[in-house]
Amino acid sequence: MGKKIALGAVALLVAAFLGVWLIYLSSQIVYAARVPLDSNPAKFGMAYENVAFPAHGGGPTIRAWWMPAKSARAVLIFVHGGNINRRERYAGGLELAQFFTGRGVTVLAPDMRNHGESGTARGGKITLGIDESLDVRGAIDYAAKRAPGLPIYVMGDSMGGAAAIFAAADDARIRRLVLLDPLLDAKSTEEGALYATLGLPRLFVGPIRWSADTFFAPDIARRDALATAEALPIPILLIGDDHDPICRPVFAHALAAANRHVTFWVSPDPAWSVAASRWGPHTAAFRLHPREVEALLTNFLAPEH
């Protein structure tokens, strides 16, 4: 009797572990996290407006900051990564906006659907840049009406990079594209983000990702960001990182090798940044090397003739 009770207890523990591992965690990670805004452009000395517009083709209301440059020569749409917001603290979003507006480029920074203050779609599920690309195109619709005739550029980091890639493939109004540690392979990025978020051994995150994709997000279409980016015919500035544990560098190198329109720069990370957290230096190039990144952006986004 005692042996049966012990076996039953072990079975319950195993079932509980599997339930948490493959059901609860998998059911939660398919939803975007809403992170409240903790700053605004005024704190960086920039004029701005809170604006709103629909996603391209209809859908959720997208809320954004419009940060005008004096005598603007272009508009840049800054697309944040997953589970953050338009402030994009990790990539230095407002600091980058300050840099752009000081050089004649107006910045439009939206919250993607299910993030920040924007509307909800698919019950809050994140789609790794696919549906979010419609929010980028909605921002393009707004910018084209607000500043007619100005060239439109897009900059995206991490998941925002995938959204920017898909938008550029579907919308010829994007003239230039800047990608900062972009999501180019959904499977490896999901597993890298799971490891960084949960701290579980990498052996465990693969089954969680598989369960999430199979059982809790089967309605979400799959689209290959790398193959899409390889075919883009527009100028692309790709800023990568050979120590990025989230968006693995092998895919950035593959993109640079496959597309002759890509200008590729690899961030030389100091050792402390690599070991600082499980996220490593993901999207931190501007914070770590502001002068080098500013020089790259200045050359890449030089006035068009």
Which residue, among 127, 215, 187, 213, has the nearest Cα to 163 in the 3D structure?
Answer: 127
What value does the mean pLDDT take over residues 250-260?
Answer: 98
Q: What's residue 304's pLDDT? A: 79
Q: What's residue 3's pLDDT? A: 60
Residue 14 has pLDDT above 60, yes or no: no
Please state which of the ranges 43-57, 62-76, 264-278 shows the lowest mean pLDDT. Answer: 264-278
Provide the strand spans (E) within 133-291: 152-157, 174-180, 236-240, 262-266
Residue 240, phi-psi category: left (phi > 0), alpha (psi -120 to 50), beta (remainder): beta
- 225 by Cβ neighbours in 10 Å (0-12 / 13-18 / 19+) ranks as buried
What pLDDT band is residue 2 in, cutting at 50, 70 and 90?
A: low
Q: Determine the Cα–Cα distance for residues 117 and 23; give it in Å rounded to an integer.
A: 29
Residue carrying structure tokens 């707004």: 142
pLDDT per position as a tens digit, 19-50: 444 566 677 788 999 999 999 999 999 999 99
Q: Determine the Cα–Cα distance for residues 285 and 155; give it in Å rounded to an integer.
A: 14
pLDDT per position as a tens digit, 124-140: 999 999 999 999 999 99
The structure's pTM equals 0.92
189 by DSSP, 3-state: which?
helix
What pLDDT band is residue 296 in, cutting at 50, 70 and 90?
A: very high
Residues 6 or more apart in contact with residue 67 via CB below 8 angstroms: 41, 46, 47, 48, 97, 101, 106, 107, 108, 109
Phi, psi of 152 (to 5 degrees): -115, 125
User: What Rg, from alpha-carbon coordinates, does the chain have?
Assistant: 20
What pLDDT band is residue 11 in, cutting at 50, 70 and 90?
A: very low
What value does the mean pLDDT take over residues 144-151?
Answer: 98
The larger pLDDT score, comparing residue 30 to residue 69, is at: 69
Q: Determine the Cα–Cα distance for residues 165 and 10; give it in Å rounded to an integer.
A: 48
Q: Give me the CATH topology for the region 39-187+220-300.
A: Rossmann fold (3.40.50)
Residue carrying structure tokens 């083709």: 57
pLDDT per position as a tens digit, 73-122: 999 999 999 999 999 999 999 999 999 999 999 999 999 999 999 999 99
- 218 by Cβ neighbours in 10 Å (0-12 / 13-18 / 19+) ranks as exposed
Which helix (H) or strand (E) element contains residue 292?
helix 290-300
